[in-house]
Amino acid sequence: MQEKLREIQKNAKKQLENVKNQEELEKLRIELFSKKGALTAIMREMGAVAPEDRPKMGALANTVREELEGEFAQIKQKLNATAQEAKIIAEKIDVTMPGARRPLGKIHPLKQVERELCDIFLAMGFTVVSGPEVERDYYNFTALNIPENHPARDDHDTFYITDEILLRTQTSPVQIRVMEQKKLPIRIIAPGRVYRSDAVDATHSPIFHQIEGLVVDRGITMGNLKGCLEEFIRQLYGEDVKTRFRPHHFQFTEPSAEMDIACPKCEGKGCSVCKGEGWIEILGAGMVHRDVLLRCDINPDEYSGFAFGLGLERIAMRRFRINDLRLFHENDVRFLHQF
């Protein structure tokens, strides 16, 4: 038994010298110290030793076990230190190296134009406001002087959720909500998505964007409306742009007008871009109807105002010379990266 113990100790030390990692060390530990290990098996043979030799053999077995456990602990500590050092070297960061650059996204062309228009109106003293896209029938139609039998309320033109709830067809409901607060004077613009039941083609989409504006104060006239919009167009297209106003009809303004700009390609002579007319429609506008002011509990004899609205896609298509509105919504990165 003594010879077996010495043989186990000798073989264990040789194996410890060749251990290279924690996995090999753990495997050797199991072979020696587990319930089925070599040292445990020797201890089970203690019953076959003569009684007078048991104390001596027991002391020897304990000595061998303690020496091997001590060597195991030293090797384990050494391997841990080596592994920690290797980890530190592997995870070392060179702070002088330039960082890995993430690819930057692009601002969508519609958002670019929206920000530009908002900046122009902000510089003119307007405030940007927003409202719900899922709107009540009252705010989208009734409060804007559009009666129940008006064609705009047809199911084929508007996305109805219930008889009273719909997807807004314009951002004008935001104007009504602001006027209801009666924090006069008012000077706001309301950009946002709107929805109409249009078939998709190069110039139409069931989802598009508008920017509408509203001014309400004492003494507001049609002259204020023209001056404001002409300054906006000059900021947008340059000092030399020519404009004109044509009479039109909108339910919520009276008088109403459409504003045109001289075709930038033919300068008013007529071409394919302006369809031979020499002018391009840019927006609709007018003085806020008395009934609209009354519904918002604003005295039309004391206050007056003007409103206007334009399609964002139309401005963007002219700005970037795009002839198909669908390109804005297809999310083709090749298209979007051009802007």
The answer on 121 and 81 residing in a single domain is no
Quick check: is 97 in a domain? no
The answer on 133 and 86 residing in a single domain is no
pLDDT at 106: 81
The answer on 168 and 266 residing in a single domain is yes
Total domains in the fold of the chain: 2
Quick check: is 95 in a domain? no
The answer on 7 and 127 residing in a single domain is no
The answer on 225 and 315 residing in a single domain is yes
pLDDT at 237: 85
Supply φ then ψ for residue 195, to 5 degrees: -135, 130
Among residues 33, 56, 90, the one where a domain terminates is: 90
Quick check: is 104 in a domain? no
The answer on 194 and 60 residing in a single domain is no
The answer on 210 and 162 residing in a single domain is yes
Helix axis angle for 54-90 and 2-18, nearest 10°, is 10
Can you point out the beta strands (E) in 104-223?
127-128, 134-136, 165-167, 186-195, 207-217
pLDDT per position as a tens digit, 246-277: 999 999 999 999 998 887 667 677 776 677 78
Quick check: is 14 in a domain? yes
Q: Which residues of the chain have pLDDT under 50?
A: none
pLDDT at 30: 75
The answer on 207 and 292 residing in a single domain is yes
pLDDT at 100: 80
The answer on 44 and 113 residing in a single domain is no
Among residues 90, 120, 148, the one where a domain terminates is: 90
* C-alpha–C-alpha distance, residues 173 and 54, integer Å: 101
Quick check: is 98 in a domain? no
Among residues 90, 121, 147, the one where a domain terminates is: 90
| Amino acid at the residue 113 | V
Quick check: is 313 in a domain? yes
For the whole model, what pTM was predicted? 0.67
Quick check: is 65 in a domain? yes
DSSP state of 246: E
Quick check: is 253 in a domain? yes
What is residue 305's three-state secondary structure? strand
Distances (CA, A) of 245 to 18, 212, 261, 311: 95, 17, 9, 17
The answer on 124 and 254 residing in a single domain is yes
Domain around 12: 2-90
The answer on 127 and 31 residing in a single domain is no
The answer on 192 and 143 residing in a single domain is yes
Helix axis angle for 109-123 and 222-237, nearest 10°, is 130
* C-alpha–C-alpha distance, residues 232 and 239, integer Å: 10
CATH number at residue 133: 3.30.930.10
Do β-strands 127-128 and 186-195 pair in parallel, antiparallel, or remain unpaired?
A: parallel
**Residue 167 contacts residue 134 (beta carbons within 8 Å):** yes
